[in-house]
Amino acid sequence: MKKNVAIIMGGYSSEYAISLKSGAVVKKHLKDSRYHCYGIVISEKEWVHSNDDGERYPVDKHDFSITVKGQKIVFDCVFNAIHGTPGEDGLLQAYFGLLNIPQTSCDHYQAALTFNKRDFLSAIKPYGIKSATSYFLNYGDKIDNDEIIDTVGLPCFVKANRAGSSFGISKVYQQQDLKDAIDKAFAEDDEIIIESFLDGTEVSVGVIRYKGNITVLPMTEIVSENDFFDYEAKYQGKSQEITPARITSAQEQKVATIAKNIYKKLKMKGFTRSEFILVEDEPYILEMNTTPGLTEESILPQQAKSYGLDMRQLFESAIEEALNK
C-alpha cells in the first residue's frame, strides 16, 4: 500500500514564493511515484491542501491531517520544502516530532542552531573550523561604527542573522554606508551579523544521507556577475554555478572533509547545503542551509545530477531516509 506524503511549502518569511516553487518541483517529480503525495501550503493565514481541481481542504493542526470528500487522510511522512520560518528554524520539526510524524529535514535543535548564523558559527568553532571575523548586533543595541570597522575592516558584509536567500544582505565599502546596510538587515531580522570580507573562491557543498550513508555531493563554484552572490545573482540568472567546481582535488578533499565532519558532529539529517570561501587553500565556512532550494535550477539538485541522481531519486531517497530513521 502506498504511503501518504505531505509536501509542505510556503512559510512565514520572505522566502515564501521561492518555497512554493521548490514544493511544486518536488510534487511534480514525485507524481506517479511509490507515494500518494499531497501539496500543503503553510502560511500565517492558513494551512491548506489544494487538489488539481482547485478544491481546498484545511489542515487539522491537532494531528496534521486533512479530510477529503469525507475521508480522513493521515500522513506517514512530511517532505519539508519550506525555506525560512517555520520550516527551517525548528518550529515545524518540533511540531512533527510531538506528533511522531517522520519528516525529511533535520531535527528541531539542529534546525534552530543552523538557522541562527551566530550560534552555528559559535558551535562549530571548537572543532577548528574557520570562519570570517564577525560582529553581532541585536535591535536596539548601541551602534558604534568605529568599533565595527575596527573589528571586521572594510569592505564587510552586513547580514540578517536569521534569514536566507540573501535577503537583507549588503556589501559595505565605506563607513558612511554602514547605517543603511544595518537598517536593511534589521528589516529582515532583529539580530544581524557583520562579517569581514574574504577574498577567494566561493563553493557550495551539498551533503545528504543516501542509502544510509553520509554523502558529499560534487561541489558547485559560484561566480557572481554582481558584486557578490545576492538575490539577483542567486535567482535571476546573474551568476554562473559551475558543477563540479574548478578547484584542485586537494582543496575539494579539504572542504568535503569539513562539510562531512560538521554534518556528523551536529548529528544532521536530510539535505544540507553549506557555503564556503576558499582563501588560497584554506576553507572558511559562511553558513549551512537545512532546507535548500529544490527547483530545477537550484544548486543541490544540480549537484545530485552530477553525482548521478535524478530529481525523483533525490526526493524519494529523502523520504526513505526519514521513514527509516
- The cell 540568472 sits on which residue? 237
Residue with cell 558584486: 227
What is the pLDDT, as a whole number, of residue 166?
A: 66
Check residue 224 and give its pLDDT: 74
User: How far lies 312's CA from each of 24, 36, 120, in Å?
Assistant: 13, 14, 31
d(CA 62, CA 253): 46
In the prediction, which pLDDT does 64 show? Answer: 98
Q: What is the mean pLDDT of each run of 10 residues along the chain (325 residues)?
A: 96 93 97 94 97 92 96 98 96 98 98 96 96 96 96 95 77 95 93 95 97 97 69 57 96 98 97 96 95 94 97 97 91
261 contact partners, CB below 8 Å, separation of at least 6: 127, 129
Predicted pLDDT at 233: 44
What distance in Å separates the CA atoms of residue 256 and residue 248, rounded to the nearest whole number? 12
Q: Which of 150, 159, 153, 145 has the alpha carbon at shortest distance from 173?
A: 153
Tracing cell 501539496 back to the chain, one arrives at 39
Measure the CA–CA gap between 320 and 279, rounded to whole angstroms: 38
DSSP state of 54: -
* pLDDT value of residue 227: 62
Contact present, 308 and 217 (Cβ < 8 Å): no
Give residue 261's pLDDT. Answer: 97
Is the separation of the CB atoms in 187 and 169 below 8 Å? Answer: no
- Which residues fall within 8 angstroms of residue 83, CB to CB, at 6 or more apart? 11, 13, 15, 18, 19, 22, 164, 165, 289, 291, 292, 293
In our burial notation (b when 16+ CB lie closer than 10 A, e otherwise), range 181-205 reads bbebbbebbebbbbbbbbeebbbbb
